[in-house]
Amino acid sequence: MIRRHLTTLALSLLSVASVSIPGAAYAQLPRVGIIDFYGLHKITASQVREALGVAVGDSLTAMAMFEVPSRLAAIPGVASASIDPVCCEDGKTMLYVGVAEDGAPTLELRPPPTGASRLPIDAPWTATRAAEWDARSVAWFLEHSGIRTPIARDLFDSVIRGLFCGDLNQVSFLNLLMLVRASGGFNTLVSITGGYQENLVVGGAGSIARCVADELGDAVRLNTPVRAVRQQADHVVVESAALTVSARHAVVAIPAALALEIAFDPVLPEDRLTLYRHSTAGPETKTLLVYDEPFWRAAGFSGQSAGPKSASEVTIDSSPAAGKPGVLASFTFGPIAEQYDALDVGERRRLLLAAMVERFGPRAGAPAEIIETPWWKEPWTRGCSMAHWSPGILTKYGPLLRQPFGRVHWAGTETATISYGAIDGAVRSGERAADEIIHHGAHGAAQS
């Protein structure tokens, strides 16, 4: 029955994690991502050992290491994806804030917000100072952060704007603390080594979804958006234009802005509607500049650069591990993304390429390809990178995020505790929703 739900909601039940092989010399293993769409607990350590043909304490031969991905992928219910480390942290990082400061060794991000470590991760709205923090905005926090130099202020502002992609007056400070807590610390959020930017999925993040879709086969229906969810006494009917699915429970794992467009019967209560109306994912444009090779490395540059409020607020080297082509990923966030998006495409590209040339030299002005995605205009995404909440919403309506509505359960990265906002959080939320149905499935009246 749950499998039927996956017709529209397949991605919610993914699990992506590095596998550990207890007892085996796994430090020798290549980095392998395991995708187990029913939850990691379904793969036992002995299954993994059996697939690899190793006993506890065994070392892997070079040949066995070579075969690891395909052998693990052969375990029923597992698809594998390779993960490449992002290159490179050892070159020079450039900071452009009005004046060029070539060669700045690190991006100084001080002070990180305090208070996050004490936040209850499952219910940040219950913290002793939650009401006070939720009444304040992230803009207030920046104003009172004690950062005095304009350059540092601009940089800190753009980094935090990059996390929320919105007007920071409209983001609750409690929301920032929640994000930091969910990520294991501010530095994790913004770092490459040991942080969120450490790895690239080979073939792009979408390849994970493709791996899982291959496993699910016909159960995945593309281009079949759900338009209505009708709850009956003992089942739920999920309707799209071309397909109707009846099941005992449904998991809704889509951004709030899109959930508001589904007709629920019974209708969603006013408090949940208020929560969703204030769940905003903001503007972000990501532009990939593709070159024949990552030429900046030879010049000693990492590919990381920051130019708050410019046509390229942040760049990072996104070249594949194979070394070719060279790819720079460039971003603009929130109101700055909107500001550049309002320009005609020719002018926007001129400004972007001028910024690249200024930072990385003349070769940066002639990419073979430019792939620009304004993510907030993607009809099935509507914003980056996850929803945030304005002041006063989380303390009042936050408890509804994961609370079932009758037979309807909620997943998606916004409902995550650990890794809220990231793919990992989305995966964990799917597991949590599945667990809710499997272990606590009986629900009565449809109310939130």
Ligand X SMILES: Cc1cc2nc3c(=O)[nH]c(=O)nc-3n(C[C@H](O)[C@H](O)[C@H](O)COP(=O)(O)OP(=O)(O)OC[C@H]3O[C@@H](n4cnc5c(N)ncnc54)[C@H](O)[C@@H]3O)c2cc1C
Residues that bind ligand X (CB under 6 A): 8, 11-12, 225-226, 253-255, 258, 262, 284, 286, 375, 380-381, 384-386, 412-413, 421-424, 426
CA distance 300 to 246: 59
Identify the bridge partners of residue 358 per DSSP, sorted by sequence position: none
Residue 284 or 358: the one with the smaller Cβ distance to ligand X is 284
- Shortest distance in whole angstroms from residue 413 CB to ligand X: 4
Could you tell me the two tokens for 117? 């470590």
- Shortest distance in whole angstroms from residue 153 CB to ligand X: 25
- Shortest distance in whole angstroms from residue 372 CB to ligand X: 11
Q: In 150-263, where does DSSP find H-type helix?
A: 150-164, 173-183, 186-190, 206-216, 256-259
CA distances from 351 to 218, 348, 368 (A): 45, 5, 17
- Shortest distance in whole angstroms from residue 177 CB to ligand X: 19
- Shortest distance in whole angstroms from residue 371 CB to ligand X: 12
User: What is the CB neighbour count within 10 angstroms for residue 294?
Assistant: 23
Residue 47 or 82: the one with the smaller Cβ distance to ligand X is 82
Residue 128 or 223: the one with the smaller Cβ distance to ligand X is 223
Identify the bridge partners of residue 83 per DSSP, sorted by sequence position: 201
CA distance 69 to 48: 11
* Backbone region of residue 17 per phi and psi (left: phi > 0; alpha: psi in -120 to 50; beta: other values): beta
Q: Looking at the chain, how many residues does it have?
A: 448
CA dihedral of 347, 350, 352, 356, whole degrees rounded to 10: -170
Residue 43 or 316: the one with the smaller Cβ distance to ligand X is 316
Residue 116 or 422: the one with the smaller Cβ distance to ligand X is 422
CB-hemisphere CA count at 13 Å for 186? 16
Identify the DSSP state of 75.
Answer: S
- Shortest distance in whole angstroms from residue 388 CB to ligand X: 12
- Shortest distance in whole angstroms from residue 432 CB to ligand X: 12
Residue 64 or 262: the one with the smaller Cβ distance to ligand X is 262
Could you tell me the two tokens for 142? 């920046």
Residue 334 or 412: the one with the smaller Cβ distance to ligand X is 412
CA distance 193 to 197: 7
Residue 225 or 399: the one with the smaller Cβ distance to ligand X is 225
User: What is the identity of the amino acid at 17?
Assistant: A
Helices 345-360 and 334-341, packing angle to 10 deg = 120
- Shortest distance in whole angstroms from residue 17 CB to ligand X: 13
Closest to 181 (Cα-Cα) out of 133, 119, 123:
119
* Backbone region of residue 57 per phi and psi (left: phi > 0; alpha: psi in -120 to 50; beta: other values): left
- Shortest distance in whole angstroms from residue 227 CB to ligand X: 7
Helices 334-341 and 150-164, packing angle to 10 deg = 80
Parallel, antiparallel or unpaired: strands 244-247 and 236-240: antiparallel
Residue 275 or 426: the one with the smaller Cβ distance to ligand X is 426
Residue 115 or 255: the one with the smaller Cβ distance to ligand X is 255
422 φ/ψ angles, rounded to the nearest 5 degrees = -115, 170
Residue 398 or 412: the one with the smaller Cβ distance to ligand X is 412
Spatial CB neighbours of 41, under 8 Å, sequence gap ≥ 6: none
- Shortest distance in whole angstroms from residue 288 CB to ligand X: 11
- Shortest distance in whole angstroms from residue 393 CB to ligand X: 19
CA distance 39 to 246: 23
Could you tell me the two tokens for 366? 């002639």
Could you tell me the two tokens for 62? 């070079």
